Amino acid sequence: METATVLAAVALIAFAVASGCLIQLHRVAPEVDLLRDAVSEYGAGPHASWYRAQVLLVGLGAAATASGMQ
């Protein structure tokens, strides 16, 4: 398998799981307003582990995308 294909798959999976984490955050933390509050406010609440996972996965997806473009 080609390296670019593997990196593309890693990026796609990472972004999909990060989106799932963000959806879960919206479900379990209704006190954070979607239109008014920043996404980073999830990191200060009791559901900070979901937020950390989302941030790490977005970073992994971005790194895989950048590596695949070289």
Give the mean model confidence (pLDDT) for residues 3-14: 96
Is residue 47 within 8 Å of residue 29, measured between CB atoms? Answer: yes
- Residue 70: its pLDDT value, please? 84
**Residue 13 or 37, more confident:** 13
Residue identified by tokens 């979901």 is: 50
Q: In the predicted model, what is the mean pLDDT of the chain?
A: 92
- pLDDT at 30 > cutoff 90: no
Tell me the C-alpha distance between 27 and 40, whole Å. Answer: 15
Tell me the C-alpha distance between 11 and 65, whole Å. Answer: 6
**Residue 60 or 46, more confident:** 60
Render pLDDT for 50-59 as a digit per residue (tens, 0 to 9). Answer: 999 999 999 9
